[in-house]
A = this chain, B = another copy of it.
Amino acid sequence: MDFLEEPIPGVGTYDDFNTIDWVREKSRDRDRHREITNKSKESTWALIHSVSDAFSGWLLMLLIGLLSGSLAGLIDISAHWMTDLKEGICTGGFWFNHEHCCWNSDHVTFEERDKCPEWNSWSQLIISTDEIKTILSGFIIRGYLGKWTLVIKTITLVLAVSSGLSLGKEGPLVHVACCCGNILCHCFNKYRKNEAKRREVLSAAAAAGVSVAFGAPIGGVLFSLEEVSYYFPLKTLWRSFFAALVAAFTLRSINPFGNSRLVLFYVEFHTPWHLFELVPFILLGIFGGLWGALFIRTNIAWCRKRKTTQLGKYPVIEVLVVTAITAILAFPNEYTRMSTSELISELFNDCGLLDSSKLCDYENRFNTSKAGELPDRPAGVGVYSAMWQLALTLILKIVITIFTFGMKIPSGLFIPSMAVGAIAGRLLGVGMEQLAYYHQEWTIFNSWCSQGADCITPGLYAMVGAAACLGGVTRMTVSLVVIMFELTGGLEYIVPLMAAAMTSKWVADALGREGIYDAHIRLNGYPFLEAKEEFAHKTLAMDVMKPRRNDPLLTVLTQDSMTVEDVETIISETTYSGFPVVVSRESQRLVGFVLRRDLIISIENARKKQDGVVSTSIIYFTEHSPPLPPYTPPTLKLRNILDLSPFTVTDLTPMEIVVDIFRKLGLRQCLVTHNGRLLGIITKKDVLKHIAQMANQDPDSILFN
Looking at the complex, which one of B218, B263, B502 makes contact with A478 (CB distance below 8 Å)? Answer: B218
Decide: A536 near B33, CB < 8 A? Known: A226-B234, A583-B676, A646-B650: yes
Cβ of A486 and Cβ of B477 under 8 Å apart?
Answer: no
Cβ of B491 and Cβ of A263 under 8 Å apart?
Answer: yes
Residues of chain B contacted by A381 (CB below 8 angstroms):
none
Proximity bits, A657-677, B CB within 8 Å = 1, else 0: 100110011000000010111
Beta-carbon contacts under 8 Å, A615-670 to B: 644-646, 648-650, 652-654, 656-657, 660-661, 664-665
Residues of chain B contacted by A649 (CB below 8 angstroms):
645
Decide: A494 near B676, CB < 8 A? Known: A237-B478, A645-B652, A652-B645: no
Q: Which chain B residue shows the least CB distance to A482?
A: B218
Q: Which chain B residue shows the least CB distance to A263?
A: B491
**In whole angstroms, what is the CA distance A653 to B645 when docked?**
5
Q: Which chain B residue shows the least CB distance to A535?
A: B30
Cβ of A234 and Cβ of B30 under 8 Å apart?
Answer: no
Chain B nearest CB: distance from A476 CB in Å?
A: 10
Cβ of A677 and Cβ of B492 under 8 Å apart?
Answer: no
Residue A27 interfacial (CB < 8 Å): yes
Q: Which chain B residue shows the least CB distance to A238?
A: B477
Q: Which chain B residue shows the least CB distance to A646?
A: B650
Cβ of B665 and Cβ of A262 under 8 Å apart?
Answer: no
Proximity bits, A53-81, B CB within 8 Å = 1, else 0: 00000000000000000000000000000
Chain B nearest CB: distance from A125 CB in Å?
A: 29
Residue A34 interfacial (CB < 8 Å): yes
Cβ of B237 and Cβ of A226 under 8 Å apart?
Answer: yes
Proximity bits, A530-541, B CB within 8 Å = 1, else 0: 011010111001
**In whole angstroms, what is the CA distance A660 to B647 when docked?**
13
Cβ of B502 and Cβ of A675 under 8 Å apart?
Answer: no
**In whole angstroms, what is the CA distance A498 to B243 when docked?**
11
Chain B nearest CB: distance from A659 CB in Å?
A: 11
Residue A235 interfacial (CB < 8 Å): yes
**In whole angstroms, what is the CA distance A668 to B634 when docked?**
46
Cβ of B645 and Cβ of A654 under 8 Å apart?
Answer: yes
Cβ of B23 and Cβ of A657 under 8 Å apart?
Answer: yes
Cβ of B262 and Cβ of A492 under 8 Å apart?
Answer: yes
Chain B nearest CB: distance from A632 CB in Å?
A: 25
Residues of chain B contacted by A418 (CB below 8 angstroms):
none
Q: Which chain B residue shows the least CB distance to A237?
A: B478
Interface centre among A30, A31, A34, A489, by most chain B C-beta atoms within 10 angstroms, is: A30
**In whole angstroms, what is the CA distance A553 to B454 when docked?**
81
Cβ of A675 and Cβ of B538 under 8 Å apart?
Answer: no
Residues of chain B contacted by A478 (CB below 8 angstroms):
218, 221, 237-238, 241
**In whole angstroms, what is the CA distance A491 to B482 when docked?**
12
Residue A473 interfacial (CB < 8 Å): no
Chain B nearest CB: distance from A192 CB in Å?
A: 20
Chain B nearest CB: distance from A199 CB in Å?
A: 16
- The segment from A419-427, A515-523, A584-592, A683-691 found at the interface with B is A584-592
Beta-carbon contacts under 8 Å, A249-278 to B: 249, 262-263
Chain B nearest CB: distance from A687 CB in Å?
A: 16
**In whole angstroms, what is the CA distance A673 to B489 when docked?**
57
Looking at the complex, which one of B541, B648, B675 makes contact with A583 (CB distance below 8 Å)? Answer: B675
Proximity bits, A543-575, B CB within 8 Å = 1, else 0: 000000000000000000000000000000000
Looking at the complex, which one of B489, B491, B592, B675 makes contact with A589 (CB distance below 8 Å)? Answer: B675
Residue A375 interfacial (CB < 8 Å): no
Looking at the complex, which one of B26, B218, B657 makes contact with A645 (CB distance below 8 Å)? Answer: B657
Proximity bits, A466-506, B CB within 8 Å = 1, else 0: 00000000000110011000100101101100100010000
Residues of chain B contacted by A37 (CB below 8 angstroms):
536
Residue A392 interfacial (CB < 8 Å): no
**In whole angstroms, what is the CA distance A536 to B591 when docked?**
25
Residues of chain B contacted by A645 (CB below 8 angstroms):
541, 649-650, 652-654, 657
Cβ of B665 and Cβ of A536 under 8 Å apart?
Answer: no
Cβ of B491 and Cβ of A262 under 8 Å apart?
Answer: yes
**In whole angstroms, what is the CA distance A576 to B581 when docked?**
34
Cβ of A27 and Cβ of B245 under 8 Å apart?
Answer: no
Residues of chain B contacted by A481 (CB below 8 angstroms):
218, 241
Q: Which chain B residue shows the least CB distance to A505?
A: B238
Residue A527 interfacial (CB < 8 Å): no
Q: Which chain B residue shows the least CB distance to A217?
A: B494
Residues of chain B contacted by A650 (CB below 8 angstroms):
592, 644-646
**In whole angstroms, what is the CA distance A660 to B245 when docked?**
30
Proximity bits, A15-48, B CB within 8 Å = 1, else 0: 0000000010011001101100100000000000
Q: What are 30 inter-chain pairs, A to B, with CB distance below 8 A?
A: A23-B657, A27-B654, A27-B656, A30-B534, A33-B536, A34-B537, A37-B536, A218-B218, A218-B481, A218-B482, A234-B532, A237-B478, A238-B478, A241-B478, A241-B498, A245-B498, A262-B491, A263-B491, A486-B491, A583-B675, A583-B676, A590-B675, A644-B650, A644-B652, A644-B653, A645-B649, A645-B657, A664-B664, A664-B665, A676-B678
Name 6 extra pairs, CB < 8 A, besides A218-B218, A245-B494.
Answer: A34-B536, A218-B482, A589-B676, A646-B650, A676-B676, A676-B677
Q: Which residues of A contact B (CB under 8 A)?
A: 1, 23, 26-27, 30-31, 33-34, 37, 217-218, 221, 226, 234-235, 237-238, 241-242, 245, 249, 262-263, 477-478, 481-482, 486, 489, 491-492, 494-495, 498, 502, 531-532, 534, 536-538, 541, 583, 587-592, 644-646, 648-650, 652-654, 656-657, 660-661, 664-665, 673, 675-678
